[in-house]
Every structure is written in C-alpha cells, then in structure tokens.
Structure 1
Amino acid sequence: MRAARLIRMALLIQSNPGLTAAALARELEISERTVIRDAQALQEAGVPVRSERGRVGGYFLAAGYRTRLTTLRPSEAETLFLSGLPSALRDLGLSDAAEVARLKLTATLLPSVRQAAESSVRRFHLDAPAWFHEPSTPELLPELARAVWADRPVELSYARPGRNGAPSSVAARVVEPYGLVLKAGTWYAVARVLGERETRDGGWRTYRVDRITALGPAPGAQEPFVRDPAFELAAHWEARSAAFARALLRTTVTIRLTGQGLRRLPAVVDGAAVADALASASTPDPAGLVTLDLPAESEDVAFDQLVRLGADVEVLAPAGLRARFREHASALTALYRSDPLEAEPEQAEPQEARRQR
C-alpha cells in the first residue's frame, strides 16, 4: 500500500509542481505529517523531491528530472483501454480524435503492455448511452469473466425465458466465451457454440448472464480456444443489437406529423424504427404535414410512444389504434373542460359564513 502511495505522490508532484503538503494530504487521503515522511522516503530512494516554503512554495522535483514511474503495468493498461465510451464519442464527433489519442498511447507502451491493452478491448465492451439502470452483478459473472480472459471453453446451463419472462426450460451448451457486454444494467455474454463455426450464423449466441444457472470447464478441453482474429466485440454487438431491435418491430402504424412532430419523433421512438419510417415519408402537404409508415413493436407500444407527441401526431391506421387515440382525446377534453379553481369560491363561502355565525 505504501509503495503505491509513494508512486502516486511522485507522479502528482511531477504533473503538478508546487503542490502543498495540505493539497497532497487531501489527494492521497493521508495526514500532512505522513506527506512529510513520504517525501523523505522518496528522497532516500533517489527521487529528488524538494520542498519550498513561502506563499508560492510547495513540493517540486529537481529541474529536468522525470520519473520513470509512468510505465504502465498490463493490468493498468487493460483498465485504461476499458474506460472509453465509443458510441458517446461518436455522437459528440470526437471518435477520430479519440482514435488518434489511442494510437499515440499504444505507441508508447511496451509490447507486452500493448498486447494486454488491445486484448481487453477485444473481450469487454460497455454499451452505456441512454440507459440509467443500476447494474446488477450475477453470481457467475466473475467466473465467466475469468474464462473470457483466459480464452477457456466452458459448459453452461441457460434458462430460456418463457411467457412473461419466466424461465421455461434449461439448455446446456459448450461454448467459447468471446466477450462480455454491459447494457442497460444487464450483463450479456457473447459466445460461439463449440462445433458450429460452419453454420449459417457462425455459431454465435448471446446469453444474459443472470440466466446462466451453472458454469464449469468444458469436458475434455485442456487448452485455450483460438480466437477468430476478425472478431470485434463492439462491431458484433452493434450489428446484433440492431438486428434484434428490428426483429421486434412487428406492427406498422401510419401517422401524419407536423414539422414539430417530425423533429421530435426520434426522441420518442426506437432509432431503427425512425430510420425505416423516414425512408417512407411523403413530401409535406400544403399544410406542412408529413405522412409516413412507422414500424412498431405493438399497438400498445406505439400508443405509449406516440401519445407523447400530443397534437403533433395523428394516427391514420390501424383503425383500432386510431380509435384508442380518439378515446384518449375525449377523456382529456372532458377532464380539462372546466377550470377546477372556479368551484373553490362556492365551496369556501359557506365555510366562511359558518365561521361568522
């Protein structure tokens, strides 16, 4: 613990010359007296730390001295390369800059550390934007993560969901675990079923980790599996997620939108549905209204999404959904027909009269 603290202290002084004992104590969560002792220990170890008194004083390294403690260990590089959010950077227009920065950092790493950093990107992907759920940690996640790091085939038992999400059956598979993805607070394992590389889908499967009921070494598998060099976890996840989202869109809703409704549509509807809908959009009519066919998961889902657009959307079909919006509009009209404050004086007057009596 102390060695790590001394390294951190030296790096802090190198990157922020003039830090006071109080500032170092706050950063390192130690006392100022411990800061003084640690500075002496660094001096004894050959690190030329000096302290200066006065208003602009603090701790400094000797002029021109640079510590070599900036060399990263493999575990540190792995963690560093796991910290990026590629989709968020892409949305901000910073993906090119981030890639250049990553390449510059990679070029400074020792070969062994560079391999560790790159291997972490191939095995773990964080798909975080637009989700705000607290992630849970399935019981078997740590063991599965170890298998992912070691490229170790595993045998797993998986509870398939039945109606209303309840497990209906348990399937056993021997798989090669390629990576883990955290999405919407849920962990998923991306794996390839052993012996199915030549099938149409390549044997790729995605498992919710919290539905894995048992996990163990694959029978007879003593050696690590050979990873497909063309496999990229982030690209694989993005493609599979898009395909899954489109597979859910089983209903088509015809709607008419105002310009404001068209601009707000991406905020209330799934991205894949919006892309397909805009491709079918008509040119604006003389009133500026646009008609389009919107893919939806169901009429219930379409109602919950489109109702947020208020009067900026009109449902034309199917008839059942249009009738539902008509009933909703009638209920709102009845609810807001009168001002509830108008009735208060009539109720308050008798009470006032009773108090005077």
Structure 2
Amino acid sequence: MRAARLIRMALLLQSSPGLTAAALARELDVSERTVIRDAQALQEAGVPVRSERGRAGGYHLAPGHRTRLTTLHPTEAETLYLSGLPAALRDLGLSDAADTARLKLSATLLPSLRAAAESSVRRFHLDAPAWFREPSAPELLPELARAVWADRTVELAYARPARDGAPPRTVTRPLEPYGLVLKAGVWYVVGRVPGERPDRDGAWRTYRVDRVTALRPAPGADEPFVRDPSFDLAAHWQAHSAGFARALLRTTVTVRLTERGLRGLPGVADPAGVGDALARAPAPDAAGRVTLDLPVESEDVAFAQLVGLGADAEVLAPEGLRARFREHAQTLTSVYGAEPDQR
C-alpha cells in the first residue's frame, strides 16, 4: 500500500513540480504529516525530492531527474484496458481515436503485458445502459462534446417535460459546459451559468442531453471560457446527483400499500423518493398496510409506476390521480369481466 503511494507521489512530482504538502495530501488521500514522511522515504531511496519555501515553493524533483517508475505492472495494463466504455466512446464520436490509442499502447507494451491487457478484454465487458432500454445517442451529443473539449460557451434549447398539468415547454439557456456524465444509459451535461460565481447557488446546472433540442455558440462568446481550476466533475456529480434526483421529484402522492406492495415499491419507483417515504412511514395498520407520502416526478409518472403493483397499492391522494386509477380499474373490469370473444 505504501509502496504504491510512494510511486504515485514520485510520478505526481515529475508531472506537476511544485505541489505543496496540502495538494499532495489531497491527491494521495493522506495527511500532510504522512506526505512529509513519504518525501523523506523517497529521499532515503535515492529519489532526489526537495522541499522549497515561498510563493513558488512546494515539492520538486532535482532538475533533469526523471523517475523510472512508468513501466506498467500486468494488473495496471489490465485495468487500463477496462477504463473505457465502447458505447460511450462511440456516442461521443471517439471510438476511432480510442481504437488507435489502444493499438499504439499495445505496440509499446512488453509481450507479457500485451497478453495481460488482451486477456482483460476477453474477460470483462462494461455495459452502461439500464435493462429494458434501447440505447441511443442523443443527436446533439457529439457537438456538445466538442464544446466541452474546446471550453466554448453555448446557448442550448432545452425541452422541459410536462409536470403537474403544466404543458411541456422549451427554454433557452446559456451554459459553460464543463463535462458530460453517462448515468444508466442517459447522458447529462454539467455546466456553469456564465458570469455566476462557482460558489453561488444555482451557478451549476445539469441537463439531460436527450432533451437538448438545439445548440449553437453563445452570442458574443468568441473566446473559450476560463475554467474554474478547482472544479472536479466526478466529485461534483457524486455530491449533487442525489440532490439532482430529488429535485426531479416535484409531486407527492399518498399511497396505501400491502406488505407485498411495500416489497415491490423499490422496484418500480425512484429510489430517492422511496427512501424518503420509508424514512417517514408510520407503523402498519391492523391489516398490515402502510400509508406513505411518496415523492414522484409527476402524476403521469406515478400512474405508470404504481399501476404495476395492482391491488397492492391504493392511491389515496391527489384525487385526480385516484380517479385515474378508478377509471383504469373499470376499464380492466369491462375487458376481463366477460369471456373472450371467440369469433
């Protein structure tokens, strides 16, 4: 464990000279005191690490020194070949470049490492899309990816879905696109509103790419935008994805569930909404039923989700949704209440 950390520290100093103890501690996920001890250990091992004070200070390797730690271990080669998602690269228009890069990498590897890398491809395949969903790349994804690479501010038209009786509508938004995220087969773009401070609420936005209907360079944005150097796409997504999912749950329905319906609810409804509802759930009634206030995206979505639970879920409110279930039940009765027509 420590040996791997020392190697990584030496490579960090080779690629980014001048890193402070605090910066190295963040990169290596250790304390600053551990960084100081590791620097001493590298010095004792013959790696010329030195610490400098002042504004341009930090840790450096001696001028002209290059580590010989860049040779890949077989396990590292195997992992490297698992780092890409073929479908995602194809959606982004990068599959040809990725294939070329893998060929170049294979040509530079020792025969034993090349065999290890090819072995991992035969044994593991990463399939990002969810079950029962036909994967399709949004039409504007490659163009949006080019804007992300070039740090170009865009103006996008975004189709907002219908919610709570309000009709769908299209809005236009300027955006500095910082990155793209593939989640369960759905692409999202994460970006910042131009001119907003990064620490201000609402400065960062997330949009589903398949709902972007038009895209063009933002008027007057002739130069690339200046990225916030502290922005970390993976950390941002991890911190905000749960909140983003909950933000979509704008409606609450009251539903009474049997024990079987309660077991089946996580399989049909949004996990964030189900978790919140269960956390606030009262004790079961005398018949063993539990009444929940379930957060959902809309009444339309709630109907599509809860109808699969059949009689194990009874919607109590809102009345419009309950009436819809009543009408649905009557329709089913008219269809199944008689023998099938044999003509």
Shift of 1:140: 6.5
Determine the structure 1 residue equivalent to 2:142. Answer: 141
Determine the structure 2 residue equivalent to 1:179. Answer: 179
Report the AA paired with residue 291 of structure 2.
Answer: T
Structure 1 distance, partners of 2:312, 2:241, is: 30
Determine the structure 1 residue equivalent to 2:216. Answer: 214
Report the AA paired with residue 328 of structure 1.
Answer: H
Unmatched runs of 5 consecutive residues or more in structure 2: 1-69, 87-108, 110-126
Determine the structure 2 residue equivalent to 1:289. Answer: 289
Determine the structure 2 residue equivalent to 1:91. Answer: none
Shift of 1:227: 2.1
Contact map agreement 2:257 2:314 (CA 8 A) in 1: yes
Structure 1 distance, partners of 2:137, 2:325, is: 38
Structure 2 distance, partners of 1:319, 1:166, is: 22
1:186–1:129 CA distance, 2 compared to 1 (3 A): closer
Q: Give CA-to-partner distance per residue, 1:3-50, whole Å, 9 cap, x none.
A: xxxxxxxxxxxxxxxxxxxxxxxxxxxxxxxxxxxxxxxxxxxxxxxx
How many percent identity over aligned positions? 52
Report the AA paired with residue 134 of structure 1.
Answer: P
Aligned length: 227
Structure 1 distance, partners of 2:329, 2:138, is: 44
Structure 1 distance, partners of 2:141, 2:298, is: 34
1:135–1:183 CA distance, 2 compared to 1 (3 A): farther
Contact map agreement 1:259 1:289 (CA 8 A) in 2: yes
Is the deviation greater in 182-191 or in 329-338?
A: 182-191
Unmatched runs of 5 consecutive residues or more in structure 1: 1-67, 85-108, 110-125, 348-357
Shift of 1:134: 2.0
Determine the structure 2 residue equivalent to 1:61. Answer: none
Q: Superposition RMSD on alpha carbons, in Å?
A: 4.2
Q: Give CA-to-partner distance per residue, 1:149-207, whole Å, 9 cap, x none.
A: 5xx5313121243676987454445x2x4321134655333223454225523732334
Shift of 1:288: 1.6
Q: Secondary structure at the match of 2:182?
A: strand
Q: Give CA-to-partner distance per residue, 1:121-171, whole Å, 9 cap, x none.
A: xxxxx97445723232545626x545645xx53131212436769874544
**Where do residues 1-357 of structure 1 align in structure 2 (5 Å cutoff)?**
80-83=82-85, 128-129=129-130, 132-136=133-137, 138=139, 141=142, 144-145=144-145, 148-149=148-149, 152-161=150-159, 168=170, 170-173=172-175, 175=176, 177-183=177-183, 185-201=185-201, 203-209=203-209, 210-211=212-213, 213-215=215-217, 218-221=221-224, 225=227, 227-228=229-230, 231-340=231-340
Structure 2 distance, partners of 1:146, 1:296, is: 35
Report the AA paired with residue 141 of structure 1.
Answer: P
Shift of 1:248: 3.0
Report the AA paired with residue 133 of structure 2.
Answer: F
TM-score (norm 2): 0.52
Structure 2 distance, partners of 1:77, 1:312, is: 46
Shift of 1:315: 1.9
Contact map agreement 1:283 1:290 (CA 8 A) in 2: yes
Structure 2 distance, partners of 1:257, 1:329, is: 17
Q: Give CA-to-partner distance per residue, 1:47-69, whole Å, 9 cap, x none.
A: xxxxxxxxxxxxxxxxxxxxx99
Q: Give CA-to-partner distance per residue, 1:58-101, whole Å, 9 cap, x none.
A: xxxxxxxxxx99689xxx987643459xxxxxxxxxxxxxxxxx
Structure 2 distance, partners of 1:330, 1:202, is: 45
Contact map agreement 1:296 1:302 (CA 8 A) in 2: yes
Contact map agreement 1:249 1:297 (CA 8 A) in 2: yes
Q: Secondary structure at the match of 1:132?
A: coil
Shift of 1:310: 0.8
Q: Secondary structure at the match of 2:153?
A: strand
Q: Secondary structure at the match of 1:154?
A: coil
1:127–1:178 CA distance, 2 compared to 1 (3 A): farther
TM-score (norm 1): 0.51
Report the AA paired with residue 136 of structure 2.
Answer: P
1:336–1:128 CA distance, 2 compared to 1 (3 A): closer
Structure 1 distance, partners of 2:134, 2:311, is: 31
Q: Secondary structure at the match of 2:243?
A: helix
